[in-house]
Structures are given as C-alpha cells and as structure tokens.
Structure 1
Amino acid sequence: MNGEPAAPTPVILGIDDLRPLPRATRIARTSREGIQLLQEHRDRFIDELWLDHDLGGDDTIMPVVTVLEEAAFNGRPFRIGTVFVHSANPIGAQAVVRSLTRWNYHVLRATA
C-alpha cells in the first residue's frame, strides 16, 4: 500500500435498447430511463456517455438529446468528458452528433 487514494471509478453511462455495453457502469434501455439516469448524475462528472439513436419501437434518443441541449441553453450543461454516438442509423446518428456538437459537448461517432 503506497498511501495514495485509489482513483475514482469512471462514470460511464449508456443508453441503448439492445447492446450490453460492457464498459458502462449503468445502462438505460429507453429514452425515459436515459433521462432519469442523466438526472441521477446531474451534479457528477460523467466520463463517457454512450448513445444509440433507435431505442425500439417509436422510441429514439432525441428526448435525451433535448435534455442535454436545454441544459446547455440554460447555461448549465451536463459535465461529460465524451459523448459517443454508436447508432447503426447513420442519419439519426448524424443528427445527434450535430445537435450536441452545436452545444459544445465533445461528441464522437463510434462504430455500432
């Protein structure tokens, strides 16, 4: 033991209806669950946020994107290291990347 405190566990959140996302510390399967997950982490730094566009049926990630946009618009953006968009829907993924980049979130397109 060297007396140094242990590094905090990274907070890695995922919102995806199907993928297991093994690195994620928490996963939401719907946009509603995703919004709740974000609210639970509102005052914490989120190291990574993984987003899928299509969440099954008529559900998409766009309600979550709206929450992130509104927070930035109100001058209190979520503190997120990197947002990874990993959707197999290229048009939906591009819409998410474009929307969040506009509000200065660090966003990367990842392979689905």
Structure 2
Amino acid sequence: METTETSVVLVDDLRSFVDGRSAEVARTSAAGVHLLDSYRGRRLDELWLDHDLGADDTVWPIVEVLERAAFEDRPFDIGVINVHSANPAGATKIAQVLRHWGYRVHVWSGSNDVGYLEGPAGMPNQA
C-alpha cells in the first residue's frame, strides 16, 4: 500500500507546529516566496501564513505571488490556506484577497496548532 505524505508549508517568523508535524518552514517573506515557487506545478496540501514576519517584513509578497498566478490563470494548486496570524485586521485582509482569487482560505487567529516552541535564548517556553 502506497502512502502519500501531506505537503505543508508554514510561513512564520517565530512559531512552529506544536505537534511536530512535518512541514517546510520559511521565516521571512523572501524565503516563503522561494519555497512557494518550488510548488509551481505541484500540489501543496496546506499553506499556513502568519501576517507579521518580524521587523518590517510581512506575508504580503507571498500573497502577491498567489494573486499574480491566479490573475494569469495559473493559480497554485493549494488545498487550503490557513491564516494563523495574531493580527486580526491583517488576517482578514489576506483572506479577502485570496478568496477573491478563488483560493480556499481559513482564518485561524489564535490557532493552537502553531506556537512558540522556544523562549528567549533557546530556552523552552514555560508559557
């Protein structure tokens, strides 16, 4: 029996999946764009997006790549886009834009699936 692994990409500057699930992780928008480009012509089961990526970086460059692809009638094949940002206004805007282009989007602000696995200086988070 052949099993296929679920393809998951997480774009978040600090958090990871708390259950340790397998995922490719990008910590910046530039790394996220590069990772997303590797899925051109391939199925991506789940794309998890955080809005604020530290300093002045946001997820918008990735959103723009997704928009442009859909505008050019070449949308990415993504099962679901999960927006897990703690920025409710940013998460709502991302969802509106991506839904407009036909992507399936869920907003999971405060999702328990992603969390801070380490605290300052690499110490385990005691929260």
TM-score, with length taken from structure 1? 0.93
Q: Could you tell me which runs of 5 or more consecutive residues in structure 2 were left unpaired when the two chains were aligned.
A: 111-127
Q: How many residues align?
A: 108
Give the CA deviation at 1:24. Answer: 4.4
CA RMSD of aligned residues (A): 0.9
Q: What is the CA-CA distance between 1:41 and the residue it aligns to?
A: 1.3
Q: CA, structure 1 residues 72+24, in 2 after alignment: closer, same or farther (shift >3 Å)?
A: farther
* 2:88–2:109 contact (8 Å) kept in structure 1: no
Q: Which runs of 5+ in 1 are unaligned?
A: none
Matched, 1:7 2:14: no
Find the residue that maps to 1:92 and give its secondary structure: helix
CA contact (8 A) 1:14 1:24 kept: no
1:63-112 C-alpha deviation (Å, 9 max, x unpaired): 10000000000000000000000000001001100000000000000133
Q: 1:102 aligns with which of 100, 103, 116?
A: 100
% identity of equivalent residues? 48
Distance of aligned partners of 1:24 and 1:69 in 2 relative to their CA distance in 1, 3 Å threshold: farther
